[in-house]
Structures are given as structure tokens and as C-alpha cells.
Structure 1
């Protein structure tokens, strides 16, 4: 496993790309309402990334080994879709939940982030899942510092989610990121403390737990990308990109419209 430690100049460029990705979600937020299609959200995002940000939507035509080219500029995963939902012509309905996953490339560097949205008036159960998943992501982020281990991150997320009665998807994980969309290391959202890779300053990766209201098992939808819960239960995901600093971490994918930090997170660390 080769993990590339980023330089100060690299980190400055990643900081810009991360903020831009988050600002796409800020822009989309008022449009996520009953009646809009995920295809319309994709067009809004594409045009904003290309025309306003002068950047590139990384998912468009992205073709990892074993996959067909991804046909859209963002991922929109609705209700029981765990990840990689392809925007289409179906309208969002009152009570839906949707994850919007944005990755931009700016000056060769990637910024990757996602948020959950509750469409209209969501159920108490749906809002609880989204809120707990957000906190689970930050429970993992809070473990990031030099000398800690990737297993510490996964353990924090897993224990928090499972103690709340949810399950953690294991087939997909966070990842290193830089001038390449997906690099080493893989960042599992479950595990044991003190295991796997030890963190060093300059490591850049995403933390992006996918948490299900029901069982953790998944099924492939058949379009080559979309992944759903096997038991058709709701699934939620949040994602940030961060760097390990000398004293802790810095999250790149924060912007003015980002949700408030959980009470247990010290603003000075981010």
C-alpha cells in the first residue's frame, strides 16, 4: 500500500477543491423540494461546476475497473439507495430522503463531499437516521490525529451507529484522495481500535459512512452503479474530505452553508 503524503502546496489546492464541492451543495439546497427531479439537480450542479466554478465534475464518465462509465455529474441516492444512485427523471416526493454526492476537480485536485436532505416533511425515523449518520461521521473524524489508527475511526463509527440500532455498510468505504479520485488508504467505517494504518500528517482521505435503518446487506440494482439495501430499509450517508495535521485534522469540505457542527466537536480542531 502506497499512501501519498500531501505537501503544503498540495493541501492548499485541496482546500480550494473541497470548499468548491461543498459550495455546490450549498447552491443545490434550496432546490431540493418535492417535485424536482434528480436529473434537474444534476443539471444545476453540472452547470454550476463548469460555468461558475470553472471546474470539472469528477463523476461524469468516471470508469473504475469493472464499471461502465458513470453517466452523470453527481450521485443522488434516494431512500433505500445506499450509494451511486444515478440522477433520472423521477420527481422527489414529500418525505423522501436523498444523499447528494459531489466531487469537483479544480486545477487537477479533487474535492469530495456529500450531504443528506429530507424532502419536505420527513418522518421522525427518517430524520433520526440522517441525524445519527451525520454524528457518526463526526465521531470518526474526531478520532483523526497523528499516531491514531484507521481502525479507531471505524470503531467509533460502528459502535455509535450500532448502539443506536442501525447497521453499517461494509462493502464501501472512505478513501485517499488528491490528484486521483480514489487513492490509498481505504477508510473502513467499522473495525477495532489500534488496527490498520497509523495516521501521519499529510494524509488526505474521506470519511463517508453509509448507515442503514435495517440490516447492512446490500443488493445491486442492475444499472451497473446503483446499490440498494437488501431489505429495502432507508439508508443515509454523509461525507467529508480531511487532512491529518500535526495536531489533529482539518476538514476541507466545509462552507457557509454546511450544517452546524455537532456539540461534541471543538470548532478549533477544524
Structure 2
């Protein structure tokens, strides 16, 4: 069964940091680390686990975190989707023997430059749909290049800052090629709410809670509307991925479906 069929759906209210959804992998200073596999896919197959991972910023990784990522999970490629200038603020994954680092900046207009505050409530869904569809078009090369690395079959981790927006778009493109249902793609995206909650708990305990909380949320509806928007532009998410120049869809499915 797929993750959505395995019992009562968890909520932030009912889930503690010790009982996160099973996709999550506990680390000391990586808060939104999880396996992208396990979802039902096309033709009765399932996305393999232990192959593709996603996370938030890796600039604070501890020695224990590195051991987890490199030795226990066996990650051989780290893809950083951020701007290089973000490394100056939050750091980047260190050089590690046996791990190839890739910098594929997912280009987009900086959100802080668009002259709009991060909306609250239901207004966040159209806001994110607009941002995400624009990011898919401007950042298509990062999507293509990330999928090329994933198609090699070696364990990969891709990430951005919070691990929700740029990372979520690459994950959605990947799962679309693999034939995962749109509703499950949206559920996978929505899981970042748990990672954000974990980061906020660590921040509040170690840095202090800010006077005002920035808007960080991943409602499933935002991904569903983004997918619908891309279908209106390209015909389907698979057609969008093909338009990026990615031509390893068969290899990707061979590597990641079981």
C-alpha cells in the first residue's frame, strides 16, 4: 500500500517530533530530511526507497549527520538548488570523499523582490501556484540536471534552504515522471510542514522565537494547483519535464520503480 493508505493521516497537532511520518529520517541538524520513495506509481509499481532523498539546508550538519548521510544512507550525490550567495548565510554541504556535490541553482525571481508579503490563510495557495509555475519555467535547467543525476541510479539527496519550495518542485517533477498520482505528489509535498515544525522547535530552543513568524507552509492544494497550471501550459507534467530537455525518463523509471 502507498503511504496514504497506511492508516490515519497524521497532523501537526497529533504528531510529536518522535512520531513523524515514516518518510522522515531523524538527524541532529537536518530537519526536513526524508525518503522520496515508497509511493505507489504507474502499472502497479512502487517508487523504490533508499535511492532518492530530499532535505533542507545541509550547512549545519554534524559529524553524526554526515555519518548518517554518507555511511548509513549511502548518499553519493548532493544537489544544492540554492543561490551561491545563500551559502554565505547558511553554509553548504562540506567536501566529503565519495560524495559528488552538484550546484544546480533553480533560477527564479527572489521572493523578497516581488513587493508582496507572504500571504496568510487561503491566499497562500494562489500565491504559491504563481511562484511555483514561474520557478518551473525559469529554473527548468536545474530540474533537468537534477533528474539526470537521479537517473544514474546512485543514491541522491537534493535540497534548498527550507526544503519545501525548490526541493518540492524537483520532487514533484520526479514523481510525475514515475507515474505517481497527483494527489500523492501533493501529499508528499505537504509533508514539509512537519519538517518546518521540527526546525522551528529547534530554533525556538536554541536561538529564540522571533517576534513575528515568517510564512512557511506547504498546503497540498498549492501543489495540486501548480500541477494543474503546468498541465494547462504544457499538456502534462511529463510533457513539461520532456520540454526541459530531459531524455532519460525510461532509465529513471527502470532505476526507481519496483
More strand by share: 1
More helix by share: 2
TM-score w.r.t. the length of structure 1 is 0.24
